[in-house]
């Protein structure tokens, strides 16, 4: 049975270089559980428990901004960059988003619930 320290070691954040076909090489950093929970919360209307209009419109950009990083794990995009990410070609953002979802192991995120 794993000890507390061993479990915490297994859960260390990951940073990996990924080659995205047609886009190029990027670094990705895994999400902490706190970041994933906040991402989901930001997608929801807390009064109705359903995905909000704003949450749906920004879901892909928010995940891209949270996951893309430099080689040290520092975010490439800040929240202030969301409008610029949303203005990018949908095919490019979609491909990056799909790779981020797969990398983080959160396929079928909050915007699909």
Instruction: State how far the alpha carbon of 108 is from the alpha carbons of 62, 65, 75, 100, in Å.
Output: 15, 18, 23, 12
The reply to whether 60 falls in a domain is: yes
Position with higher pLDDT, 68 vs 106? 68
Distance of alpha carbon 108 from alpha carbon 12, whole angstroms: 23
Classify burial at 100, counting beta carbons within 10 Å of its beta carbon; exposed 0-12, middle 13-18, buried 19 or more. Answer: buried
The verdict on residue 7 lying in a domain is no
Q: Is residue 3 part of a domain?
A: no
- Residues 9-23 have pLDDT tens digits of 999 999 999 999 999
Return the CATH number at 44. Answer: 3.30.2220.20
Asked if the structure places residue 8 within a domain, the reply is no
Task: Give pTM, 2 decimals.
Answer: 0.88
Structural domain includes residue 19: yes
Q: What is the residue range of 49's domain?
A: 14-112
- Residues composing the chain: 113
- Count up the domains in the chain and report the number: 1
CA 70 to chain centre: 14
pLDDT tier, 108 (very low <50, low <70, confident <90, very high otherwise): low
User: What is the rounded distance in angstroms from the CA atom of residue 103 to the CA atom of residue 63?
Assistant: 11
Place of tokens 């490439």: 76
Task: Tell me, yes or no, whether 38 lies in a domain.
Answer: yes
pLDDT at 28: 98
3-state secondary structure of 64: helix
Mean pLDDT of 65-79: 97
- 16 phi/psi in degrees, rounded to 5: -140, 150
Confidence of residue 55 (pLDDT cuts 50, 70, 90): very high
Q: How confident is the model at residue 110 (pLDDT cuts 50, 70, 90)?
A: very low
Q: Which is higher by pLDDT, 3 or 111?
A: 3
Q: What is the pLDDT of residue 111?
A: 42
Closest alpha carbon to 64 in 26, 96, 87: 96
Task: Evaluate whether residue 95 is within a structural domain.
Answer: yes
Residue 41, pLDDT above cutoff 80: yes
The answer to whether residue 4 sits within a structural domain is no
């Amino acid at each position: 049975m794993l000890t507390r320290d061993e479990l915490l070691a297994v859960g260390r954040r990951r940073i990996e270089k990924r080659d995205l076909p047609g886009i190029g090489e990027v670094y990705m950093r895994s999400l902490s559980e706190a970041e994933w929970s906040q991402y989901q919360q930001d997608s929801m209307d807390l009064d109705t428990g359903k995905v909000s209009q704003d949450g749906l419109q920004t879901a892909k950009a928010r995940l891209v901004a949270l996951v893309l990083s430099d080689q040290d794990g520092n975010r490439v995009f800040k929240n202030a960059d969301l409008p610029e990410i949303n203005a990018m070609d949908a095919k490019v953002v979609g491909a990056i988003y799909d790779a981020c979802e797969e990398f983080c192991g959160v396929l079928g995120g909050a915007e699909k619930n």
